[in-house]
Amino acid sequence: MRFLVPILVVVVVSATMTKRAATNRDNFPERLFPTDRPITYSFSPDFATDDRLVMDVVLRDIASMTCLSFEDLSFNISDGSFEKPLLMFENSTKCGFENVEKLSDSSPLRIYFAESTCRTLLAYYRAMLYALGMFETQLRPDRDEYISVHEEDIQTNKLNLFKKYSDFFATTYGVPYDFESILHAIPGTHQRTKGIPTLVAKDPLYQPGMGMNRITPSHSDFLLLNRLYRCLDKCATSEVKCQNGGFLNPNNCTKCICPRAFRGDSCNEMNYACGGYRQSTTKWRRLSVDWSSTIEPTVCHWFLTAPPGRKIEIELENIVPEDTLCPYRPYTWLEVKLGNFAVGGYKFFCNAHIPNHTLISEGNLTVLTLAKDFFEYIEFELLYRNVEANS
């Protein structure tokens, strides 16, 4: 059973919003698809039925979160003529898509999917976001504020893939930089030597979770797509005020699309079927969870709160597994969100990731998320209390 608990505390969101990028629509309007009619698409005849169904799921998900819509023309033949789609999904021996200067009704954008390497949910989502005008997060114009790119550790023939975009080609639309974006590369992308990263987060606590999202677009990915296509203009007269990093749903302007752990029409409710609500005091309290005997995939949220004007202090004590090699498991981790709930927080996979200092929230709410995959185990112990806001 899912529990809905209204959030009664006053949540303070950080005033500093980092950003990330997509096509600069003012300079390249021809790179955007229409929003006043469906984006038509088709599959090559040899594209497997099962793979078509997965792509259809991806397109329906994107449509449900934006003002974009899609229509399959694969079997739409009328009067003996075939309407040309805007997108063509091709069975191929390679992965990628044509580099086109201008989208055209007469010439579809062809996206290639090799059966052996890129017929995955992750590949379909990424291909669609690229096609719709988004870029890899680490290529945004101001990426140097958030990551260091170590060119000396990059394979020489791959250096051009790390060149950031200029403001002329890309803009951020005020969307937070998100290490959890489905378009963020992993630290070891095109590395010369195994174990030596090419991308290093300026805030080291973001390093373990960088590029580890292998499921669906992050909350901020969808926010960026909505701003790129001006979808939120549809809700300009809505009186609903989204909280906790949510944004209005362009398909229903009376409801907000909420980040992980929140729900409700304005994202003002806690969303948990497990986990719970914990009120902090000025004395340390302990929270420990042991999922060593839990087999099935599970996600739980804990909300640590403090009175208005105070913050949450957290001391991580233990995260199991304790393997010093700290194997990365993309679906099994502890996440700590200290504020700015629209983006992914710090992710910890094992004891080796525990910092030698405490964590302080930005406001009076901290969200913990524990996730695990089939037959994987994880447990954690931490202490928490509330402190003066100027601590």
pLDDT in tens, 196-241: 999 999 999 999 999 999 889 999 999 999 999 999 999 999 999 9
The 3-state DSSP composition of the chain as helix, strand, coil percent (nearest 5) reads 15, 30, 55
Burial state string for 270-284 with b = 16 or more CB within 10 A and e = fewer than 16: bbbeebeeeebeeee
Rounded CA-CA distance 55/41 in Å is 11
3-state secondary structure of 368: strand
Rounded CA-CA distance 81/4 in Å is 53
pLDDT in tens, 43-68: 999 999 999 999 999 999 999 999 99
Supply the pLDDT for residue 22.
85
pLDDT in tens, 128-169: 999 999 999 999 998 999 999 999 999 999 999 999 999 999
Domain ranges of the chain: 33-132, 137-221, 230-270, 275-388
Mean pLDDT across the chain: 90
C-beta separation of 27 from 183 below 8 A = no
Supply the pLDDT for residue 97.
82
> Domain spanning 230-270 has what CATH number?
2.10.25.10
Rounded CA-CA distance 35/24 in Å is 17
Residue 104's CB: how many other CB atoms inside 10 A? 12
Rounded CA-CA distance 187/150 in Å is 10
**pTM across the whole model:** 0.90
C-beta separation of 72 from 82 below 8 A = no
Supply the pLDDT for residue 330.
84
pLDDT band at 104 (very low <50, low <70, confident <90, very high): low
Residue 2 has pLDDT above 60, yes or no: no
Residue 244's CB: how many other CB atoms inside 10 A? 25
Pick the more confident residue, 11 or 354. 354
Residue 273 has pLDDT above 50, yes or no: yes
Supply the pLDDT for residue 30.
85
134 secondary structure, DSSP code: B
> Domain spanning 33-132 has what CATH number?
3.40.390.10
Supply the pLDDT for residue 326.
80
Section 339-354 average pLDDT? 95
One of 3.10.105.10, 2.60.120.290, 3.40.228.10, 3.30.360.10 is the CATH number of 275-388, namely 2.60.120.290
**Can 33-132 and 137-221 be said to share one CATH topology?**
yes
3-state secondary structure of 321: coil
Rounded CA-CA distance 325/347 in Å is 16
Rounded CA-CA distance 382/191 in Å is 35
Looking at CATH, the fold of the domain delimited by 137-221 is given as Collagenase (Catalytic Domain) (3.40.390)
